Structure 1
Amino acid sequence: MAVTFECGDIFATPGIVALAHGCNCAGAMGKGVAVSFKGRFPVMYDEYRRRCKAGEFTLGDVFYWESSGQAVFNLGTQKSWKTPAELWAIDKSLRETIRMAESKGISEIALPRVGAGLGGLNWSSVREVLQSLGSSTAIHLRVCEEYVEGRALSL
């Protein structure tokens, strides 16, 4: 398929069964969109934190979590909340996310501007990675390029 860059709120978009977001590998979800993931999926957060503490979630990894028909791809993009995201880790974790989604029959994933907010990366560099990956898969990557609280994603 392709990647689309949209406006809205990934959590307010009906029918989205798979979400992805960038995470640090230190076990903290205390700022940005991660706070929303932590609040909506506390069981997922507990397992994420456990994996980080055990050294089982590192840069470039993907922690896949699913419950009650909702899937979340946690992407290891930052070593800690104190360090910037790493573009190679975003690329690697997104490639693995796409591979996993294809094997699970997931056709669409919604995600925020991974690595370009608190991660500190230049959005145009991350956008290029997303465009490249989107052109090589049947998975539709719906990227929330402009956040509008409570509004469903749209072009």
Structure 2
Amino acid sequence: MREITGDLWDVHDQGFCIGVPTNGNCRRDGRAVMGAGVALAAAQLFPNLPILLGEKLRASGNHVYYWPEFRIVTLPTKEAWIRPSNLGLIERTAREAVHLADHNRLTTIYCPRLGCGLGGLAWKDVASVLAGLWDGRFIIVHPAA
């Protein structure tokens, strides 16, 4: 795992795949709840993504999913949107993301600091989990201070 300073959406605009933190909730209409942060930006840019993710959540549960048409990997950090992020779920997500990257031959995935914005976790805690699982294909992008 590496870290860089920058803007996640600028990286996406350059043609790279990005990781979008998500949760396991769906609305009554079946759409995944993507109402804040990076998830909201992704939902606004790709209006079909909440529909597609909602279908996956209902069919297979709160797991990592790849959307090549959007160059997005959804990365669960929360079970429910209203709850804080969970280090155990982030660890499972990190393992699933490695498997997904291997299976789909993804060479680079740029991600925000998972669980640290609206999720309420400290980066030092999350980084210690990810460092043991993620290799150089996973690049954490954080804004300049």
> Against the structure 1 CA distance between its residues 38 and 147, is the aligned structure 2 distance closer, same or farther, given a 3 Å change threshold?
farther
What is the 5 A alignment of 1:105-120?
105-120=105-120
* Residues 1:36 and 2:41 are matched in the alignment: yes
Deviation (angstroms), 1:109: 0.4
Structure-2 residue corresponding to 1:152: none
Structure-2 residue corresponding to 1:56: 60
TM-score by length of 1: 0.79
Structure-2 residue corresponding to 1:71: 71
Structure 2 residue runs without a partner (length 5+): 26-31
What is the 5 A alignment of 1:1-155?
3-13=1-11, 15-26=14-25, 27-52=32-57, 54=58, 56-58=60-62, 61-67=63-69, 70-134=70-134, 137=135, 139-146=136-143
Q: Which has the higher strand share?
A: 1
CA distance in structure 1 between the aligned counterparts of 2:64 and 2:118, rounded to whole angstroms? 19
- Determine if contact 1:57/1:76 at 8 Å carries over to the other structure: no
Deviation (angstroms), 1:16: 4.3
Count, aligned residues: 138
Structure 1 residue runs without a partner (length 5+): 149-155
- Determine if contact 1:6/1:144 at 8 Å carries over to the other structure: yes
For the aligned residues, what is the CA RMSD?
A: 1.9
Q: Which amino acid aligns with 2:16?
A: V
Fraction of identical pairs, as percent: 26
Deviation (angstroms), 1:104: 1.3
Q: Which amino acid aligns with 1:146?
A: P
